[in-house]
Amino acid sequence: MIRIIYTLTMLTLFFVGCTKDIPEVESKSSIKIVDDLGITYQSDIVPKKIISLAPNLTEMIYELGLDSILIGNTKYCNYPKEAIQKEKIGDLLTVDYEKIIELKPDLIFITVEGNAKESYDKLNKLGFQLFVSNPRNFDGIKKTFHDISKIFRIEKIAENKIKLWDEVIENVKSEALHQKKRSGMFLVSLKPVMLAGGNTFVNEFLKIVGINNIASDSKVSYPLFSREEILTRNPEIIIHAISNDGIDSEISNNYPEWKKIAAVKNQNIIKVDPDLFFRPGPRYPIAVQKLWDKIKHI
């Protein structure tokens, strides 16, 4: 159960280099941005000290070269590796308010679903400036990334990187058009069987690489399926988000009847990194490319 709770937490949350210097400010004008909670952030100054309360936001901050002013993040912020060395102010659900008060940040980046509403309310009550993110797809990731760049008046940096992201996605889409579409499932948890539904950014991965998600009709973002229903839907490809090896034997040991499934029968089972695929951040195009590189050879 602990593993499932952790997985669900990581799901609500999704880099290439870092720099020691803050990017040069492109404009010193006042900015006004509406965050994903619908609240307007307005400021005449550029923040000098910031905190990130989610791994995907930490990755965005590093991608924009703002790591030198990042004074705190969560214990799950482990990418890039330099992020591990930052002051830890709790995990995704539990926040060390005393530590944050001590650090005196100018701005705190927080997520809608990954962080508890209690944390938002308490930080707001304490008088901290907050910026809320809730990227649910690739467009949402790009919006958050661009919003952060606006706050620091470095929009051109974000726009140039987003252009490269778009090129990766479009190239994969173009290649996938020439391959036959197949059915598949993105296995989030094996016990119980939890899949990525249609209303998730993970489902967007599958669509881009030409896979018809067998759970796309679910009204729940991450639905639980019976072992029998998986047999009935018979996916041709299984993508399993898991850190350890031996996924083939793990599946066969837990569900021996799945040997009749096309994906198991043809050994079309793909292992992917949970941190890479469950964080809606700047590594999204990397995840798409990695998935495609594996799918296209099946």
Asked if 282 and 222 sit in the same domain, the reply is yes
Q: How many domains does the chain have?
A: 2
Residue 2 domain-assigned? no
Residue 212 domain-assigned? yes
Task: Taking residues 285-292, report their average pLDDT.
Answer: 97
What is the model's pLDDT at position 276? 95
**47-56, 89-98, 174-183, 211-220, range with the lowest pLDDT:** 89-98
Residue 5 domain-assigned? no
Quickly state the pLDDT bin for 5 (edges 50, 70, 90).
very low
Range of the domain at 72: 16-165
Q: Which of 165, 196, 223 is the last residue before a domain boundary?
A: 165
Which tens digits make up the pLDDT trace of 76-111?
A: 999 999 999 999 999 877 899 999 999 999 999 999
Q: Which of 165, 188, 211 is the last residue before a domain boundary?
A: 165
What is the model's pLDDT at position 19? 41
- Residue 2 pLDDT > 90: no
Task: Taking residues 202-221, report their average pLDDT.
Answer: 96
In three state form, how does the secondary structure of the chain look?
CHHHHHHHHHHCCCCCCCCCCCCCCCCCCCEEEECCCCCEEEECCCCCCEEECCHHHHHHHHHCCCHHHEEEECCCCCCCHHHHHCCECECCCCECHHHHHHHCCCEEEEECCCCCHHHHHHHHHCCCCEEEECCCCHHHHHHHHHHHHHHCCCHHHHHHHHHHHHHHHHHHHHHHCCCCCEEEEEEEECCCCEECCCCCHHHHHHHHCCEEECCCCCCCCCCECCHHHHHHHCCCEEEEECCCCCHHHHHHHHCHHHHHCHHHHCCCEEEECHHHHCCCCCCHHHHHHHHHHHHCCC
Q: Which of 118, 138, 165 is the last residue before a domain boundary?
A: 165
What is the model's pLDDT at position 240? 94
Task: Taking residues 15-41, report their average pLDDT.
Answer: 73
Residue 64 domain-assigned? yes
Quickly state the pLDDT bin for 17 (edges 50, 70, 90).
very low
Asked if 40 and 82 sit in the same domain, the reply is yes
Which tens digits make up the pLDDT trace of 249-280?
A: 788 889 999 999 999 999 999 999 999 999 99
